[in-house]
Amino acid sequence: MSDGNIIKFPDRKEELKSTKEKIEDLERAREYYEEIAYAAMDDITNTLAVRGYHPLKDLTLVRDMGVLMNLIVAMMYRVDGKIHFLQEPMDEMHMVITHIKEINDAKREEIFPTEDE
């Protein structure tokens, strides 16, 4: 009997090993991005504290800084071509901010027209 007619099924141990390695790679990547984001947040926290905004004294500020930290991580994922669940909401926030800025600029122009007009 020749081996040419035998269907080789995937080795379950190899499949599990491969999955485990992928999970470990994802965990290492997450740790890498979070390390950078924590360093950035330290700088932001210090800058805010110097200006009188003390994140540890205001729970709302702590919560908002947590959002910023996650946005920084999502940004780095995107730059490296990886998917993060916050990238789509970030795109939506960008569109909203851009739209609001356009509205505000138009209102400002109505109130303070340029000399050309």
The whole-angstrom separation of Cα 93 and Cα 86 is 10
Q: Are 76 and 36 in contact (CB under 8 A)?
A: yes
Largest CA distance in the chain: 92
Residue 6 confidence (pLDDT): 77
Task: Read off the pLDDT of residues 32-65 as tens digits, 9 standing for 90 and up.
Answer: 999 999 999 999 999 999 999 987 788 899 999 9
Task: Give me 17's structure tokens.
Answer: 């090993």
Residue 78 amino acid letter: R
Mean pLDDT score, 78-97: 96
Closest CA to 40 of 17, 14, 72: 72
Assessment of whether the complete model's pTM goes beyond 0.85: no
Write out the two tokens for 100: 């609001």
Distance CA 17, CA 40 (A): 35
